[in-house]
Structure 1
């Protein structure tokens, strides 16, 4: 009869293996693209312009003048979303090689970034129809254009998932030395702020801190890749 000794997963840490730099480059580019997206969204604020507040026709006219900004938001968000599909599993594998096998931190970090992907995908879901439809405002129902203006001013800013990912990375660095000290504190501070913003009524503020963390973290990890 063979007796096997149970594996102690809590103490097991895989030997770090090189993942190359592609995933970290993708993350850095995603961070920069997401900043572009947020800038584009902020420049498409006809729905929040006090000079036309409550005037659906006036808001529609202003939106028709902001199609370049709308397309900038769309392009930045979609580039970021696609690139995060590379960075998220790369970050997961990077952490798996540096934390105990039983740790949830790698999965939490990747899962948080995938939430950002969903938010960016949904945030751009209506842009093609309206960006080109606004070329002829007579063919657009003003109230639907107002809704669209609010949509692109809110949904792409839902970056709470990045806050969770940042906290996971910061904790992995704090407990297991997975990342250097500066990135530990950058992740904990920006991750904490992003998460607090995201779960509060100020949830769209997460769109300001999340992309900054993503860019800084990806750059830091690129240097270690």
Structure 2
């Protein structure tokens, strides 16, 4: 099956991943060799994903505590927000789970089947970017902000807009695109929540 040619910045960004490079389509050995050239960025991504997975657990717990104290007793919003961020943490954990298996193996291609390295390339290009849970958390925070005044009005609106966009992208076939809007919301929310303290 031929890959469609896509122009623009989105395709040039995707081309950084060996498994997504148009000129290497169908060439498992070529993709494996390209992955061997990308071990530095892959290891950096692995460390960033694992640190993010751990820090998200702390942020999720703090967000839940804050919403519990600012929403009516029995509200589902604190648990929904926390669970959404935990989904992202799991996606980051699983997205980096195969790194140690392959990042050194691609340097010695005789030790692995090239097609498995191709799978790895697609795995790291998709799974760590599954941030739909952050969209759910953003919507929960936005609803809590609008309904119960738990956060500043601007943060409530930003959370609703970015949360809705992140969920929309997350349920679409291009679900990895949520990995662009989700971290943006998380950064804005973290700064907004800190400023309020």
| 8 Å contact from structure 1 (residues 44, 153) kept in 2 | no
3-state secondary structure, aligned to 2:91 = helix
TM-score norm. by structure 1 comes to 0.80
3-state secondary structure, aligned to 1:97 = helix
Equivalent-residue separation in structure 1 for 2:88 and 2:170 (angstroms): 12
Alpha-carbon offset, residue 44 of structure 1: 5.1
Alignment match, 1:133 = 105
Alpha-carbon offset, residue 113 of structure 1: 0.3
Quick check: 1:92 aligned with 2:64? yes
**Matched residues, number:** 185
Alpha-carbon offset, residue 208 of structure 1: 0.7
Quick check: 1:167 aligned with 2:139? yes
Equivalent-residue separation in structure 1 for 2:196 and 2:85 (angstroms): 20
Alpha-carbon offset, residue 159 of structure 1: 0.5
More helix by share: 2
Bigger relative contact order, structure 1 or 2, given CA contacts below 8 A and separation 6+?
1
Alignment match, 2:3 = none
Runs of 4+, deviation exceeding 4 Å: 41-44
Alpha-carbon offset, residue 140 of structure 1: 2.2
Greater Rg over alpha carbons, structure = 1
1:142-177 CA distances to partner (integer Å, 9 max, x unpaired)? 000000000000101111000000000000000011
Alpha-carbon offset, residue 216 of structure 1: 0.7
Alignment match, 1:73 = 45
Equivalent-residue separation in structure 2 for 1:207 and 1:217 (angstroms): 16
Which of 146, 157, 161 aligns to 2:129? It is 157
TM-score norm. by structure 2 comes to 0.91
Which of 124, 127, 142 aligns to 2:114? It is 142
Alpha-carbon offset, residue 43 of structure 1: 7.4
Structure 1 residue runs of 5 or longer lacking an equivalent are 1-40
Which of 60, 63, 78 aligns to 1:106? It is 78
Quick check: 1:120 aligned with 2:120? no
Equivalent-residue separation in structure 2 for 1:97 and 1:147 (angstroms): 45
Quick check: 1:50 aligned with 2:50? no
Alignment match, 1:8 = none
Alignment match, 2:158 = 186
Structure 2 residue runs of 5 or longer lacking an equivalent are 1-12
